[in-house]
Structure 1
Amino acid sequence: MFRLELANGIAIVHLDAPPVNAMSFGRWAELPAVIHDAESSGAGAIVFSGAPHKHFCGGNDVLEFDGITRAGTLQGIGAVRDAMRAVTCSTLPSVAALHGAVMGSGLILAAACDIRLATADARLALPEVKVGAYGGYAMLKAHLPHGVARALTLLGSPISGQRAFDLGFVHELAADANGVLERALTLATEVGKNLASPLGEQIKAVMNHQDDNALWPAYDIERDYAASIMGMSASS
C-alpha cells in the first residue's frame, strides 16, 4: 500500500508492503488518489520512501504474472502507467529516497520523480525480462544514456546506487536509508519554497510539456507489446 504522511509542509508517500515492498497492480491503481490527496493537502513537495523497510520497492508482485490474460495485462500495466503519470504530471515536485532494492516498477517510480537520492549500495534494476515480462525502458531512457537504458532492459541485472549517481540518474548519495530520507526531506523543502510563487507553480507544467510529448506514447507501446505476449497462453 501507499501511505500518506504530512510532515512540515512535505507529503511523504511511504511504500508500505513488507517484506520487500512489492506492489500489486491493485496497489498501483491507488497511487493517483494518494497523489491527489497530497496536492490537496497544501504540501510543497512529495517524497517517496520505503523506510523503515529494508527495500524501497521490490517491483511488481511476480505472482500476478502467472496465467495473466491479455486483458488483465492491459489493465494492470495501465494502472502502473496511470500511477507514474500521476507522479510525473503532479503539480508538486517529487523526490525519491532510494535504498535497498529498487526494482522494476519501483525503478520506474524513481524515474517518474523529479529528483532521486540513493544510498551507494542500493540496487537498481529492471528484472522483468528474467520473468518473461517487459516494461520501463521508455521511462529510463529519459534519464540515462540509451546504451545504459537498453542494457538494464535486456540484461535485467542491477547497478548500484553509486553507479546510478555516476551516470547522473541519482542526484546525491547518502550513507544509509535514514540519511537518504532526511536529505530527501531537506531538498523537498527547498524545492517547495522555490516553487511557492505564481511563476513557480507553473514550472513543472512547462517542463512536462517539453519532456512528455514522446514519453507516454512510448509507454503505451510497451504496454501493448507486453499484453500481446503475456496473454498469448491464456484466454482473455
Structure 2
Amino acid sequence: MFEVECEGEVAVIRFNNPPVNAVSFAHWRTLPGIIAGLERDGVAAMVFTGLPHKHFCGGNDFREFAALTPEETLAGTGAVRDGMKAVRESTIPAIAAIHGAAMGSGFMLSCACDIRLATADARLALPEVKVGAFGGYRIVREVLSQGEARLLTYTGQPLSGTRAHQIGLVQELADTPARVLERAVALAHEMAKLLKGRLRAEIKSCLNREDEENLWTAYEFERDLAANVMGTAAG
C-alpha cells in the first residue's frame, strides 16, 4: 500500500490502492515501521502523495468495519492512531502533496504532516458523520481553528483546496497534481540542504515540544537548541 521512493535525502511515500487509495487497518500498521526505517537511513524530509492515482487518500475502507467486532474496531483505529503519531512525532519533516480527495484518515494524515500543498480543486473532509461514525477531530484541530474543525466534524462537508489555503490549512496551491508533487519534492530538497547535523536531528522534536507548551517555556526550548547548534558549529 505505502510505496517508498528515495530521491537523495528525500523520501516520496505513495498511497497505492486505486481507485481512491483507501487504507486498511493492516496497512496502517506498517507505517510506523516504514517511518522508522527512513529515520535510520538518514532521510531529511518526506513527501506523501496519491499520484499517479486520482486521489490523495480516501481514508479507511468503511467496508472493513462491517466485519469487525467493537474490540477489533478499537484495535484497528489504534493502528490508524499509531500511523499518524509516527508521522507527526518522527524527526523527519513531512509534506502532504494533496490532490483529489483527502478524506477521513487520509485528511488526518495530511494534518499530521508539517506542511500541506494542494490543488485548488482538492477536497478535504471528515465524512464519518455521514455514516453515523465519528473521528478525526482532534488531529485536525491541531492545524485548524475550533470553529472550522467542528464544522467539518458536524457536517462532513469538504473544504476545497482554495478554501483550505485561505484559512491557512494549506500553505501553497498549484495548478495540477503533478505540479503539487513537483513543488513538494523541491521544497523537501530545499529543507534537506538547510537542515544538517544536530539541527536536522532535533529541530522537529523541538518545534513539536514548543507547540505543546506555553509561549515562554517553548521559547526556552528553542533558545536551548539554538545555543547547542551554534556551539556545535563553532566547535
Q: Report the counterpart of residue 125 of structure 2 in structure 1.
A: 125
Residue deviations 1:99-128, cap 9 Å, x none? 000000000000000000000000000001
Q: RCO (CA 8 Å, sep 6+): is it higher in 1 or 2?
A: 1
Q: Give CA-to-partner distance per residue, 1:161-181, whole Å, 9 cap, x none.
A: 000000100010011110000
Q: Which residue of 1 aligns with 2:171?
A: 171
Superposition TM-score, scaled by structure 1 size = 0.87
Query: Does 2:176 align with 1:188?
Result: no
Distance 1:8-1:200 versus aligned 2 partners, 3 A rule: closer
Identity of aligned residues (%): 54
| 5+ long unaligned stretches in structure 1 | 214-236
CA distance in 2, matches of 1:197, 1:42: 10
The aligned counterpart of 1:218 is: none
Higher helix share: 2
Could you tell me how far apart the structure 2 residues matched to 1:192 and 1:154 are? 39
**Inter-partner Cα distance in structure 2 for 1:194 and 1:154:** 41
CA distance in 1, matches of 2:3, 2:149: 30
The residue type equivalent to 2:177 in the other structure is A
Distance 1:24 1:199 in 2: 35
Partner of 1:234: none
C-alpha separation between the residues in 1 aligned to 2:45 and 2:59? 24
Q: Which residue identity does 1:135 align to in structure 2?
A: G
Aligned to 1:139: 139
Q: Distance in 2 between matches of 1:48 and 1:74?
A: 26
How far residue 211 of structure 1 moved from its aligned partner, in angstroms, is: 2.9
Distance 1:131 1:30 in 2: 27
Displacement of 1:201 in angstroms is: 2.2
The CA RMSD over aligned residues, in Å, is 1.2
Give the Cα–Cα distance (whole angstroms) in 1 for the partners of residues 199 and 47 of structure 2. Answer: 22
The aligned amino acid for 1:11 is A
Other structure's SS at 2:191 match:
helix
Contact map agreement 2:137 2:149 (CA 8 A) in 1: yes
Say whether residues 1:152 and 2:190 are aligned partners. no
The answer on whether the counterparts of 1:10 and 1:185 sit within 8 Å (CA) in structure 2 is: yes
1:82-97 to structure 2, matched below 5 A, reads 82-97=82-97
The Cα of 1:67 is off from its aligned counterpart by 4.5
- Give how far 1:134 is off: 1.2
Contact 2:44/2:200 (8 A) holds in 1: no
Shift of 1:133: 1.7
Question: How far off is 1:193 after superposition?
Answer: 2.1
Asked if the contact 2:21/2:59 (under 8 Å) is kept, the reply is yes
Aligned mates of 1:123, 1:66 — CA distance in 2: 26
Give TM-score, length-normalised by structure 2: 0.88
Considering only CA atoms, is the larger Rg found in Structure 1 or Structure 2? Answer: 2
1:208 corresponds in structure 2 to 208
Alignment gaps of 5+ in structure 2: 214-235
Distance 2:152 2:122 in 1: 15
Shift of residue 212 of structure 1?
Answer: 4.8
Q: Amino acid of the residue matched to residue 50 of structure 2?
A: G
Instruction: Note if contact 1:93-1:192 (Cα within 8 Å) is conserved in structure 2.
Output: no
The CA distance in 1 between the partners of 2:128 and 2:68, in whole Å, is: 15
Q: How many residues align?
A: 213
Aligned to 2:77: 77
Deviation at 1:132, TM superposition (A): 2.0
1:199 is aligned to 199
Deviations 1:125-155 (A, max 9, x none): 0001111221111011111111010000110
CA–CA distance in structure 2, aligned partners of residues 191 and 66 of structure 1: 43
